[in-house]
Amino acid sequence: MPSEQTKTAPGNITEKKSTHQQGSPAQLNGFNLAHDVTNPSSQPQFESRPPSPAPPPDPRILPREQWGGKYEFLLSCIGYCVGLGNVWRFPYLCYRNGGGVFLIPYFIMLFFTGVPLFLMELSLGQYGAAGPITVWKCCPLLKGIGIGMLCVSMLVCLYYNVIIAWTFYYLGSSFQSPLPWSCDAPANAYLCGNATVNSSSGRALSPSEVFWNERVLGVVNSKGLHDPGPVRWPLALCLLAAWVIIFFCMLKGIRSSGKVVYVTATFPYFVLIVLIIRGATLEGSLQGVAFYLTPDWGRLASAQVWNDAASQVFYSLGIGVGGLLSMASYNKFDNNVIRDCLVITIGNCSTSFFAGFAIFSILGHMAWRKGVPVGEVADTGPGLAFVAYPEALALLPGSVFWSILFFLMLFMLGVDTLFGNMEGITTAVLDEFPQLRANMKQKSLFLGLLCFGFYLMGLLLITDGGIYWFTLIDSFATSFGLIIITLFMCIGISFFYGVNQFCQDIIDMICLCPPWCSKVLLYFKACWVFCTPFLLLFILTYIFIEMYNTPLQYGAYVYPRWGKALGVCMGATCCLQIPIWAIVAISKESGTLKNRFKKSIRPLNSWRGNNLNNSGGGEERVEPERMEAPFTVNLTDRDTVNLTEVDFTAIAWENGTEA
């Protein structure tokens, strides 16, 4: 091409009448073309022209990093997926939804929605070698999916580190003997002896509840969402320490966080094993385990059970937030992504089931000590991690040791998950502004400002009424917006990019593809096209029905209508990025609306070029030269080539001459 610039708007091929003299050259976007360009018979040299070489790398931009080894990637993904939800959410959902029966809808949702979407994110990131925004060069129409992932990830980071701040507070308090939330503490003598009654629930308050509500949260000083009150400065210092740790662990990208996960991803398993062994020796532990697993077959007919199963799969695997996609983008191009997907998902869900024994064996002992049913001491979310379980640990001999061990485990679980969410945000920004990679000072400044910004926004969540805001963000950040984002990702890859092309991309990455990989891909293809979209629509419908019929509340406090509307706006902001950026992509094209749509779903030329640096030293596969945008050819009277209205690229010219 004489030039890659265009002087006229991209559009269709038009035949143009001209008053030029005979022999006037043809015009391409205002430039004169040689005669042999418009006469295919006179260009034999075009047939034998080799493909264009890959563009030279920009020396100002550092090449993309890669994991130091496959175990770093596996441990990072396992640490990202195995989070607080495995410990404080899955066991509760299991006993609430029919005990062992809950495993049936859970594994159905896992294998028909969780694993296929997990593989889709890993494959997309690894093949494109790009973050959640840049990777949508494969289908520019859906760039809003990446922006939506970024919005969800920012909301999650905002409130997730508050949990780590609570964990820090409890960890520091655990070094006191006796524990400040136990009956042995002198300050709690009146609680254990006089059985103070909670006015809202009508039952006796335990020392752990008083410590949580008054000493940690200060929620007793707030009237609701409209009354946040002052910042609780001990928690503010804990939150600052949490963000400082995150900053230093991520300062060098995956080179630093990839080493940290060797400790943070493995330590929780050690603690869970120790807690299971200790719990098995306690009186009443078998009643707790029986309560956890006793089946109630009638619960299978409830739609809520299936929705809880699906929500737990999304919550624990971290799908649709961009973290998985970003971490996979640092893989070598020929990494066996199917094997990694199966190892991580099965390992994550086994951990959830495994953690239930550690939780309910000790809760069973607490119920035995109190002489009450296990259901009265079981709880979910922060209530389990910061009220019920610490109270159970306080009853054990050597309670200080067990408490330190437990909250260290919670800290490791939270930090790993936050690594993945922060990696999704930083990778997205660094891919859009790659010059930041080459300047360590600018990169450090960006990461520091990002962490400090999250810290300032997080101060709202550690006020006296901060738990109300925490619950609001937690309820809507990963609700319907996340389901809509993953639904469009599944539909976009399956029907716009092409499910057959996507499967071929996966096979291309796995150089020596074992026979079982090809057979497994047939199953995934069926899920991506049929099963997964259908199940996502079911989940989405149920969420909207439940959102309309069920009031949002924390304890006895019922959220006002404006508070619930604010939460809906948070979720809507994430998923509205999809139509907004789709309109932008279509408006950048030319032609009729149908032609604009077709152009906006075609991969950009640089899509497959992203993985050349990650091909592991193999033979570079460079496509023939093509332009990122369509262009026009203006013909004079002398040119008699009969052309239809079609968009031309260099590939189209080559295909025409080879035919």
Cα distance between residue 197 and residue 223, in whole Å: 19
Cα distance between residue 157 and residue 428, in whole Å: 15
Which residue, 505, 387, 439, 422, is CA-closest to 123? 505
Cα distance between residue 135 and residue 648, in whole Å: 25
Q: What is the CA radius of gyration of the chain?
A: 29
Cα distance between residue 482 and residue 479, in whole Å: 6
* 79 marked ligand binding residue: yes
Q: DSSP states of 10-42 as a string?
A: ----EE----PPTTPPPEETTEE--HHHH-GGG
Q: Strands across the sheet with 31-32, in order? A: 14-15, 633-635, 27-28, 31-32
Cα distance between residue 111 and residue 106, in whole Å: 9
Report the phi/psi class of residue 253: left, alpha or beta, with left for phi > 0 and alpha for psi in -120 to 50. Answer: left
Cα angle: 554, vertex 557, 561; to 5 degrees: 95
Q: Which two tokens stand for residue 408?
A: 């260290």
Angle between helices 267-280 and 337-370 (to 10 degrees): 30
Say if CB 387 and CB 208 are below 8 A apart.
yes
Q: Which two tokens stand for residue 353?
A: 């089931």
Cα distance between residue 226 and residue 654, in whole Å: 66
Cα distance between residue 410 and residue 276, in whole Å: 16
Cα angle: 653, vertex 658, 659; to 5 degrees: 100
Cα distance between residue 526 and residue 503, in whole Å: 11
Q: Which two tokens stand for residue 7?
A: 């002087």
* 316 marked ligand binding residue: yes
Q: Which two tokens stand for residue 195?
A: 């059985």
Cα distance between residue 41 and residue 453, in whole Å: 63
Find all residues with CB under 8 Å of 324, minimum gap 6, and list them. 77, 80, 118, 121, 122, 125, 317, 318, 420
Angle between helices 303-317 and 532-549 (to 10 degrees): 110
Each as own residue / partner, the long-range contacts of residues 46-55 (CB below 8 Å, 24 or more positions apart, any chain) are 46/653, 46/654, 46/657, 47/657, 47/658, 51/622, 51/623, 51/624, 51/625, 52/622, 52/624, 52/625, 53/622, 54/609, 54/612, 54/620, 54/622, 55/609
Cis status of the peptide bond prior to 178, with omega within 30 of 0: yes
* 86 marked ligand binding residue: yes
Q: What is the amino acid identity at position 472? A: L
Find all residues with CB under 8 Å of 293, minimum gap 6, and list them. 94, 99, 100, 356
Whose structure tokens read 């408490």?
403
Cα distance between residue 408 and residue 51, in whole Å: 56
| Residues in the annotated binding site | 79, 82, 86, 316, 348, 413, 416
Q: Which residues make up each annotated binding site for Na(+)?
A: 79, 82, 86, 316, 348, 413, 416
